[in-house]
Amino acid sequence: MQPKKGYLLKGRIIDGSLNPPIEQGAVVVHGERIEWVGAAASLPAQYVEQAYEVIDLPGRTIMPGLIDGHTHISFGESRSEEENALYTPVEFRTLKAAYYAKKVLQAGVTSAFDAATTYGIAQAVRDAIDTGMFEGPRFTVSGKQLTNHQGLEDSFPSWMEFPVGQSAVLVKTKEDLIEAIRLQVKDEVDAIKVSGSNDNLITPDALGASAFTLEELRIIADETHRLGKICSTHARSCESARDAALAGFDNIFHASYIDDAGIEACLKNQCVITPTMTLLVNLIGANPAQAGASGTSAFEREVEAASVNLRRAFDAGVPLIAGSESGWSPVPYGQWHAKEMELFVTLLGMTPLQAIHANTLGATRLLKRYGHEVGKVEAGRLADLLVVPGDPSVDIRILQRPKAFDYIFKGGKPIDRTPPAPRVRKWYERTKTFLNGLYVFDEETGTGRLVQ
């Protein structure tokens, strides 16, 4: 028997652009690439069914693999800033990251943008996957984010030495900025990340300023672009988002409080926004008595502001990219990568097709090395594809149930869907908490009780 040349997929096609679906479509996969796409009735004669393995599942949709625009593969589902920056040896962190990368791929994420790393773990995981050592998405990675004393990651007491395990490098001068960028480019990062504001997870009421001046942000953008990389920034406050856009940053994370001047600057300088509202919504949904430094109400206010401001930005023409921020404990790997699309629909009023575009072809803007190869069901591109039950252009929530997907292809090959065995957390991964509260003595009853 002649070996099969590849796959002939039949079903509804959502190609990742804003084009309407092809209801009765066909996709020919030859080797690692897509060879032909179109209406099944127009399938050329040379693609005879005998030569290809036919996958014809009625009621299914063929679409691009998801591109998660905001991940942290090195964070290991950390539960606190201390755990992320201080505990767990770098060697174990790296092995954890390789373990979690497979879970991300099994959620239908075939490409991902890593927004900041501890040590050089993200680069190592990217390279190990690209060279065939482990299974995982195609990663585009940032190095440690650049921060100063007002940035997100300078979060420990000032008398402490800046932790070597922190996902940032502390810069104190303009010369530091240039040196940090050049060193990271030497170490083969794909993108430079800046800690442009603080965060309510770390500091109460932290949304009022920009960590860097506009002049400093322009230095960063200019040097990053001169060296052929893209630059992004964590910018929750109005001022930090606006100044990053004015400086010519390629990508702004969050931008929940962006104003008209910031939106205008995004349009002028072709900036995109990656909101990552999933983290905020999950913190609210977990409903702890105290979420982060500021409490649940701070995240509720931010979601309310983002729902208004980001819709205004989108209506003005600023592209939005879907990202999960997977890596923290509120956003475990392999579980929340498609939630942002639902939030784009329910909170921002986008159509499901617009939301899918933001998680596929639209997100290729962040993938400078290989964005032209992925993100769309199109002849010549890599066959990173999903075959899913139902129609996500009608019900976007379908994409949050990857166990029900019929196929996940990466480079023309169905991936191994066997879940990794559950792992046990080591003692040194945990924050050293004596007790979550005070065990006070009640004189009237003569007993103790826990007070938080």
Which pLDDT band, with edges at 50, 70 and 90, does 452 fall under? confident
- pLDDT per position as a tens digit, 317-327: 999 999 999 99
**Pair 356, 331 in one domain:** yes
* Residue 451's pLDDT band (cuts 50, 70, 90): confident
Q: Are residues 279 and 174 in the same domain?
A: yes
**Using CA atoms, how far apart are residues 134 and 73, in angstroms rounded to an integer?**
14
For 280-292, what is the mean pLDDT?
Answer: 76
- Give pLDDT tens digits for 144-153: 999 999 888 8
Main-chain dihedrals φ then ψ at residue 357, nearest 5 degrees = -60, -40
Q: Is residue 426 part of a domain?
A: no
Residues contacting 1, CB < 8 A, separation 6+:
none
83 and 202 both lie in a single domain = yes
Residue 410 lies in a domain: yes
**pLDDT grade for 286, boundaries at 50, 70 and 90:** confident
Q: What is the mean pLDDT of residues 193-216?
A: 80
pLDDT digits (tens, 9 = 90+) for 9-55: 999 999 999 999 999 999 999 999 999 999 999 999 888 777 899 99
Does position 140 have pLDDT exceeding 60, yes or no?
yes
> Residue range 393-420: average pLDDT?
96
Last residue in a domain, options 371, 386, 404: 371
The answer to whether position 241 is within a domain reads yes
What is the reported pLDDT for 200? Answer: 67
- Taking the C-alpha atoms of residue 146 and residue 148, their distance in angstroms, rounded to an integer, is 7
Tell me, yes or no, whether 446 lies in a domain.
no
pLDDT classification of 292: cutoffs 50, 70, 90? low
Q: Are 70 and 358 in contact (CB under 8 A)?
A: no
- 8 Å CB contact between 201 and 195: no
pLDDT over 70 percentage in the chain: 95
Residue 432 lies in a domain: no
Residue 134 lies in a domain: yes
Judgement on whether residues 155 and 300 belong to the same structural domain of the protein: yes
In terms of domains, do 56 and 73 share one? no
Domain with 26 in it: what CATH number? 2.30.40.10
The answer on 203 and 292 residing in a single domain is yes
Indicate if 168 and 46 belong to the same structural domain: no
428 part of a folded domain: no
Q: How confident is the model at residue 1 (pLDDT cuts 50, 70, 90)?
A: very low
State whether residue 369 is helix, strand or coil.
coil
161 with 13, same domain: the answer is no
Residues 128 and 256 in one domain: yes
pTM score of the predicted model: 0.94
Domain that includes residue 226, residue range = 66-371
CATH code at position 105: 3.20.20.140
The lowest-confidence range among 71-80, 338-347, 382-391, 403-412 is 71-80
CA distance 429 to 62: 40
Residue at 219 is within a domain: yes
Is the pLDDT at 248 greater than 70? The verdict is: yes
Same domain for 50 and 74: no
Do residues 58 and 72 share a domain? no
Rounded to whole angstroms, the Cα distance separating 197 from 202 reads 11
d(CA 176, CA 212): 13
With b meaning 16 or more CB within 10 Å and e meaning fewer, what string describes 211-233?
bbeeebbbbbbebbeeeebbbbb
How does pLDDT run across 428-449, given as a tens digit for each residue?
A: 887 777 787 888 888 889 888 8
Q: Which of 313, 346, 371 corresponds to the end of one domain?
A: 371
In the chain, how many domains are there? 2
Q: Are 256 and 310 in contact (CB under 8 A)?
A: yes
Are 299 and 414 contained in the same domain? no
What is the three-class DSSP state of 448? strand
Domain end marker among 354, 371, 388: 371
CA distance 301 to 428: 35
